[in-house]
Structure 1
């Protein structure tokens, strides 16, 4: 069984991340159609992680805080990830970077894909995510879904999330990315077994 987490990258009230993540999950379940891959939503807002407050570096793996142990247990069981992220000020949200920084070994030798959104499709957030995840040994795939606030959402009031209405071309891109994430997760499985042995 290959387990893929769809991770919401924003904790902001009135965020758009949850509706985008729900779409990713729906498409993933419809596309896969087999029992050997499962997708689960992991909402970082539900973990209420404070700014990193561990006394020792994550690479040591000695987590002193209960919220860190809970977050580590949630991430550890997955083989790959789809990060759903907005772009905030030319990068990923601080809450997402903080959630990544809490852990080390739980991320290692797994795959990742990205679904981003923003005025410029969230592409700059993804570029920062790629280098951050490389440091914790996550292999990211090439195909990325970049959603435009102008074309993939119907927004009449910028202070409200609006309605998510992805263009027809977005789903085929998403399914291609999902296939890559699953293939890479499976290819990396022997490395995860060696490290856990």
Structure 2
């Protein structure tokens, strides 16, 4: 077991034209700047997961698909997670939901934080993700980063001439700091409890 908590920053969009790279890189660098965590970027696009087609969750039966087993082994390495997700039709992406469904025991009793984005800050996606996390026996931070409204359109190509995401520091930096501190506390608490 590593002496430092292992945190995965999971990029939850797989579209070729995704905006998610910008907020993912921003929160990844912020998390990596901590000297008390080992942080790794996990891009769903790199995993070629099929749609969930197992006989049951791996809580009840081992997964047969090798890509699902590889994904489960990846998730099992981490003690906590930061999910970066857009809001699609009031929810998370289908790719992220599928990735969550492809594992169960590997998510259990671990903490997560959220960076969400969209016209209303991805708030509905974040709330849906929290509900899914409860079913997976996870612990969500109270604080999250929501990039929405004029902030979102100032950094997204749809707004015309996008600024770098770092230009939003005054708007979202404090939320990021709070989320990371809460994630640290809950990750260490669940790590200790798991023994």
For normalisation by structure 2, the TM-score amounts to 0.90
The alpha-carbon distance between structure 1 residues 155 and 134, as it changes in their structure 2 partners (threshold 3 A), is closer
Specify the alignment match of 2:75 in structure 1.
75
Does residue 2 of structure 1 match 2:5? yes
Q: Secondary structure at the match of 1:41?
A: strand
Query: How far apart are 1:81 and its partner, in Å?
Result: 0.5
Measured in 1, the distance between the counterparts of 2:161 and 2:53 equals: 31
Q: Secondary structure at the match of 2:16?
A: coil
Specify the alignment match of 1:55 in structure 2.
55
Specify the alignment match of 2:128 in structure 1.
128
Measured in 2, the distance between the counterparts of 1:21 and 1:156 equals: 16
Q: Deviations over 1:45-95 (max 9, x none)?
A: 110111102233221251211101110111001111000000000111111
Specify the alignment match of 1:26 in structure 2.
29
Q: Secondary structure at the match of 1:68?
A: helix
The alpha-carbon distance between structure 1 residues 157 and 119, as it changes in their structure 2 partners (threshold 3 A), is closer
Measured in 2, the distance between the counterparts of 1:100 and 1:44 equals: 11
Q: Deviations over 1:147-197 (max 9, x none)?
A: 025314434547x9955425123122112211111110110113323xxxx
Specify the alignment match of 2:184 in structure 1.
182
Does residue 140 of structure 1 match 2:129? no
Unaligned runs of at least 5 residues, structure 1 = none
For normalisation by structure 1, the TM-score amounts to 0.89
Q: Which is richer in strand?
A: 1
Measured in 1, the distance between the counterparts of 2:131 and 2:15 equals: 23
Asked if the contact 1:61/1:103 (under 8 Å) is kept, the reply is no
